[in-house]
Structure 1
């Protein structure tokens, strides 16, 4: 077992208990409709005794990957093999106990699915869980499973983690094999995971990252001042004690400007490049099937279909500049702290113009950096505003995933 978790003398491989005292699964609404998928893990392994849910964009052999849309499910055959990440956690001993609702074709950040409903955010029941890994986050937050797999392209692990009060990881792009994930935006897509318990979070990371510790603790901390400047005062105030918890381990944070060109400029380039890749991946299917999409998702696909190639060409140099900027800001031993989301989760049933446009665009200003530069980012449940969770993130250089996982687990365990 990786030394990520072995510092706890009470931990031994296979010692995790299954979740107990589970709330009403039907009331949570995290799992896709129909018979529940159940695949037993190996007899022994580092994740023995843990239960896991899998976002319904990842293949589980013998089942249809529904991708959050009934027309997709209707037009696709059952998977012949497990997705690589699913196979890995099964081999490590975890039991897969269900597939979870995703926003439609993973193209939303709210967690409200027109066809399958909105999973419960147990940490703030009057608010959305966040998407597109909504069901996975809801299952973990409600204690239905010990951890869950999701995917993160524009923020689909980080946003639900922030909204539901969970640890959530977007790894370095390509660090975890994405084989067996529904097509979306391949140069941005990552397989990520959620957990409540820092030990579980670290143990799952050790398995998925295939990396043995000990991980070196970063020695320098940066604070993305322009990211914090985007926040309303109550959110910024709530996050400052969380920043102090990170500083207690790493020393005082040095304020820096993340984007000299403005985070909105980076975000616009991200949306353009993402939309171009999404249309290339699934546009032919959309044209042929003409699926029924819900509010927000429908408009984004329409915009992707109309995208001017000149806009895509103009966005590519922006991405190259972001990569160069982050290499400069994050040499080995350096980590950056920034808000995971600009606000707490929107109220359930809010107008689509607010949740799918205003909230989404504000969030993308904070989320786009990791996507454009292919960097690892972990959201930690360290603050609340008006009784609802909001996350603080650690952003690291490429392939510093184990450092971030270990650091985040230490910070959360210390609380």
Structure 2
């Protein structure tokens, strides 16, 4: 832990007014808090929910004040939030996210950027920035967010907490902001493995088939996408996890190169579907957008349906390839992100370089529909570096049970 940490803060409780928030993690304009049922499995826990989920009678902001301004009070509550409340957890507030969720930096020009409790000089990561900041700092026991290209995984890694991007459609995410319908999922984070396991037992049903893992695949082309110091940091943890399984093999998951799958498939599918979700809002209200989301939305608006459908076919090819690769009980290991959390003082050029590198790692699970668990098993100079484990679709609970044993 660095001298710039803000950890172990006092846990929040349900209040009708916005909470005391030294990490700048929570929204204030549309605050809502709800008590969970008593005497249930999660009754001692409090949680935050990314400001992209509907809660009956309230509005949601999606990281942009114009979205909040023009939204109407919701007529139902997202299923996942109802499930958590019924399981006893108290919702203490909605958490800030990146602008329209179209970023992984953790910065928001409009509301301010949640702080990284492990080192406040560094970026928090996003777009589920507030959820991960509040969890890492101790304001909540756990939080939920959404994840397409790393929006739960990146801030979990940067903030040194446990995070899951589940198998596609494994957790019901009705009542979530429209975004990228074929790859966006509801994920969750926690600092403590016992809390994470409890939340998993509530949000995830048992795996359809109880399998076992047999080998560890080191995804060499993912490690080639990161700097050498990150590669070196992984040697010991690869040996530790591989020894548990008995077999370690090195593979390439994308002979064409992961950059190809990001540019020619992921970004095409994501961009087209995001423009389907946001194009009407952008054209009607002309919201003021910060440079990153603005540039990405402009590019998204130019993607043809023909190109989108071709990219969808390629996505299915990749999904089938990975399904076959993992069919014999293999687990994939990669870094979660390409580096530790960058300093806020880093140049835009450096931030863009790290974002591009990270995209090569982050595209695998959404393209393949598989679960991805990120674990805070490593540090560099006192700053967290997340370790990713991935397994076959709908082996989420098995993956969690396997991965959490290394948190001891």
TM-score tier by shorter-chain length is over 0.9
User: Residue 100 in 1 paired to residue 95 in 2?
Assistant: yes
Residues 122-181 of structure 1 show CA distances to partners (whole Å, capped at 9, x for unaligned) of 112111110000000000010000000011011101111111111000000100011000
| 1:272 Cα offset (Å) | 1.1
Q: Cα RMSD (Å) of the superposition? A: 1.9
Match status 1:383 vs 2:378: yes
- Unaligned ranges ≥5, structure 1: 1-18
Residue matched to 1:128: 123
Partner of 2:299: 303
Contact map agreement 1:375 1:398 (CA 8 A) in 2: yes
Whether contact under 8 Å (1:43, 1:93) holds in the other structure is yes
The separation in 1 between residues aligned to 2:348 and 2:277, in whole angstroms, is 25
Aligned equivalents of 1:20 and 1:43: distance in 2?
24
Structure 1 residue 392 corresponds to structure 2 residue 387: yes
Shift of 1:351: 3.9
Matched, 1:329 2:355: no
Structure 2, unpaired ranges of 5+: 1-7, 13-18
Whole-angstrom distance in 2 between the partners of 1:212 and 1:282: 34
Q: Deviation per CA, 1:197-231, whole angstroms, max 9, x where unpaired?
A: 01111111111012289954412221111111222
Matching of residues 39-58 of structure 1 within 5 Å: 39-58=34-53
- What is the deviation of 1:354? 3.7
Is the 2:207–2:395 contact (alpha carbons within 8 Å) kept by the matching residues of 1? no
TM-superposition CA deviations, 1:96-134 (whole Å, max 9, x none): 001000111111000000001111101121111100000
- If the length of structure 2 is used for normalisation, what is the TM-score? 0.92
Asked if structure 1 preserves the Cα contact closer than 8 Å seen for 2:48 and 2:131, the reply is yes
CA shift, 1:245, in A, is: 2.9
**Alignment partner of 1:141 is 2:126:** no
Contact 1:215 1:402 in 2 (8 A): no
For normalisation by structure 1, the TM-score amounts to 0.91
Give the match's secondary structure for 2:231. helix
By how many angstroms is 1:249 displaced?
Answer: 2.2
CA contact (8 A) 1:332 1:397 kept: no
Aligned equivalents of 2:209 and 2:266: distance in 1? 34
- Tell me the equivalent position of 2:336: 340
Aligned length: 394
Label 1:180 to 1:35 Cα distance change in 2 as closer, same or farther (>3 A).
closer
